[in-house]
Amino acid sequence: MSASSQKERIAVYPGSFDPPTMGHLNIIDRGAEVFDRVVVGVAINTSKNGVFTREERVDLLEELVADRPNVEVDSFHGLLVDYMDEKGYTTVLRGIRTVSDFESELQMAQANRLLKEHIDTVFMMTDANYSHLSSSIIREIISLGGDTKGMVSPQVEAALKAKLAPKG
Ligand code: ADP
């Protein structure tokens, strides 16, 4: 076996995860089949006021992937490519649901390559069951008193209801 084939293949799956959904978990699981290790990276965006804090998102994700031995959860401030350089990671994993996802993902992947030429992005297409799922849709359903069973974990649903569900 050559030296390069022994190197651990690691993908960083970055996102807001506000909250993490079953669509995210699907990409994590499929990524964990293709890569030796998947690092889920919670992006802390100071200009975006989220529903969950960094710690809450990390906790919810850790609960979600607790029985996946080759998946771990981390968080980072600032540019993804700087975080990746610091840790020695070179592959980004992202999911695509729609044509509009494709456009923004293309721009982001190209911008990352301009910033750091050695960083590459791998895309996975959403499973049809999850193509309609987004964190913002989930937040909206819960804030209007709806049911998100099967779209997020029971823990995520409970945590979201505690924050967003209409009272009374
Ligand atoms: P961001 O704010 O960085 O887009 P998100 O948490 O919304 O973070 O999404 C993280 C990644 O997961 C993105 O690549 C997004 O396209 C992908 N993603 C989100 N929901 C789904 C889904 N239902 N199926 C496949 N990919 C998804």
The CB of 24 under 6 Å from ligand 1? The reply is yes
23 Cβ closer than 6 Å to some ligand 1 atom: yes
* pLDDT reported for residue 49: 78
- The mean per-residue pLDDT over the stretch 112-120 comes to 97
- Global pTM reads 0.94
The C-alpha angle with vertex 16 and arms to 71 and 98, in degrees rounded to 5, equals: 95
List pLDDT tens digits, range 32-62: 999 999 999 999 976 667 999 999 999 999 9
- Tell me which residue has its CA closest to atom 9 in ligand 1: 15
Residue type, 69: P
- CA 3 to ligand 1 centroid distance, Å: 34
Task: Give residue-wise pLDDT tens across range 58-89.
Answer: 999 999 999 999 999 999 999 999 999 999 99
Return all residues near 98 (Cβ < 8 A) that are at least 6 apart: 131
Peptide bond into 20 cis (omega under 30): no
Nearest atom in ligand 1 to 134's CA: 20
Q: How many whole angstroms from 165 Cα to the centroid of ligand 1?
A: 23
Alpha carbon nearest to ligand 1 atom 16, residue: 95
DSSP 152: B
